[in-house]
Structure 1
Amino acid sequence: MAALTPVLLFLLFLSANSDESSNLDSSCFSAIPISNSVAALYVFGDSTVDAGNNNFMNNAVRVNFLPYGIDFSNTPTGRFTNGKTVADFIAILYNLSLPPPYLSLTEAQRKTVRDGINYASAGCGIFPNTKPPGLDCWSLQTQIEVFNRTVQEDLPCMIEDPQELAEYLANSIFYISMGTNDYTLNFNNHHDPEYFANSLLIQFRWCLQTLYNIGARNLVVNNIGPLGCLPSMINKTRNGQCDEQMNQNIMSYNSQLPQILKNIEDEYPNATLTLANSYDFLQDILADTEKYGFTDVKDPCCGDYFQGELACIPDYSTPCDNRCHSLFFDASHTSEFANCMFVRDMLIIKD
Structure 2
Amino acid sequence: MAGAFRVSCLLVLFMVLITVGFGQELDPFGPQGGRRREMVPAMFIFGDSLIDNGNNNNLPSFAKANYFPYGIDFNGGPTGRFSNGYTMVDEIAQQLGLPLIPAYSEASGDQVLHGVNYASAAAGILDITGRNFVGRIPFDQQIKNFQTTLDQITGNLGADDLATAIGRSIFFVGMGSNDYLNNYLMPNYNTKNQYNGQQFADLLVQQYTRQLQTLYNLGARKFVIAGLGVMGCIPSILAQSPAGLCSEEVNQLILPFNENVKRMLNNFNANLPGAKFTFVDVHRMFQDILTNSPSYGFSVVNRGCCGIGRNRGQITCLPFQTPCINREQYIFWDAFHPTEAVNIIMGRKAFNGEQTFVYPVNIEQLANLE
SS in 2 for 1:38: coil
Conserved in 2, the CA contact under 8 Å of 1:114 and 1:155? Answer: no
Alignment partners' CA distance in 2, 1:129 and 1:235: 26
**Letter matched to residue 279 of structure 1:** H
Equivalence for 1:276: 280
- 2:70 counterpart (64, 68, 74): 68
CA displacement, residues 191-230 of structure 1 (integer Å, 9 cap, x when unaligned): 3001000000000011110000001000100111111100
Alignment partners' CA distance in 1, 2:72 and 2:330: 15
Conserved in 1, the CA contact under 8 Å of 2:129 and 2:182? Answer: yes
Alignment partners' CA distance in 1, 2:133 and 2:349: 38
Offset at 1:134? 5.4
CA change 1:322–1:250 in 2 (3 A) is: same
Offset at 1:137? 0.6
Equivalence for 1:334: 338
Trace 1:288-327 onto structure 2 (pairs within 5 A). Answer: 288-305=292-309, 309-315=314-320, 317-327=321-331
- 1:164 counterpart (140, 161, 164): 161
Equivalence for 2:130: 131
Offset at 1:178? 1.1
SS in 2 for 1:91: helix
Mean Cα displacement is larger for which, 34-43 or 168-177? 34-43
Alignment partners' CA distance in 2, 1:91 and 1:138: 22
CA change 1:193–1:55 in 2 (3 A) is: same
Offset at 1:73? 2.2
SS in 2 for 1:297: strand
1:51 aligns with 2:49: no
Offset at 1:128? 1.3
Alignment partners' CA distance in 2, 1:150 and 1:134: 26
**Letter matched to residue 319 of structure 2:** P
Alignment partners' CA distance in 2, 1:154 and 1:119: 17
Alignment partners' CA distance in 2, 1:204 and 1:126: 6
SS in 2 for 1:269: coil
Conserved in 1, the CA contact under 8 Å of 2:95 and 2:348? Answer: no
Equivalence for 1:82: 84
Alignment partners' CA distance in 2, 1:104 and 1:232: 30
SS in 2 for 1:344: helix
Alignment partners' CA distance in 2, 1:122 and 1:155: 29
CA change 1:161–1:250 in 2 (3 A) is: same
Structure 2: runs of 5 or more not aligned? 1-31, 186-191, 353-361, 366-370
Offset at 1:119? 0.5
Offset at 1:60? 4.3
**TM-score normalised to structure 2 length:** 0.81
Structure 1: runs of 5 or more not aligned? 1-14, 18-32
Mean Cα displacement is larger for which, 276-285 or 183-192? 183-192
Alignment partners' CA distance in 2, 1:134 and 1:254: 25
1:264 aligns with 2:259: no
Alignment partners' CA distance in 1, 2:233 and 2:313: 18
Runs of 4+ in 1 over 3 A off after TM superposition: 154-157, 188-191
Conserved in 2, the CA contact under 8 Å of 1:56 and 1:104? Answer: no
Alignment partners' CA distance in 1, 2:138 and 2:91: 23
**Letter matched to residue 306 of structure 2:** C
Trace 1:9-158 onto structure 2 (pairs within 5 A). Answer: 34-73=36-75, 75-105=77-107, 109=109, 113-133=112-132, 135-154=134-153
Query: How many matched pairs?
Result: 316
CA displacement, residues 62-111 of structure 1 (integer Å, 9 cap, x when unaligned): 011111001112511000000111111111111112111111136xx4x9
C-alpha RMSD of the superposition? 2.1
Mean Cα displacement is larger for which, 56-65 or 269-278? 56-65
Equivalence for 2:29: none
Offset at 1:154? 3.4
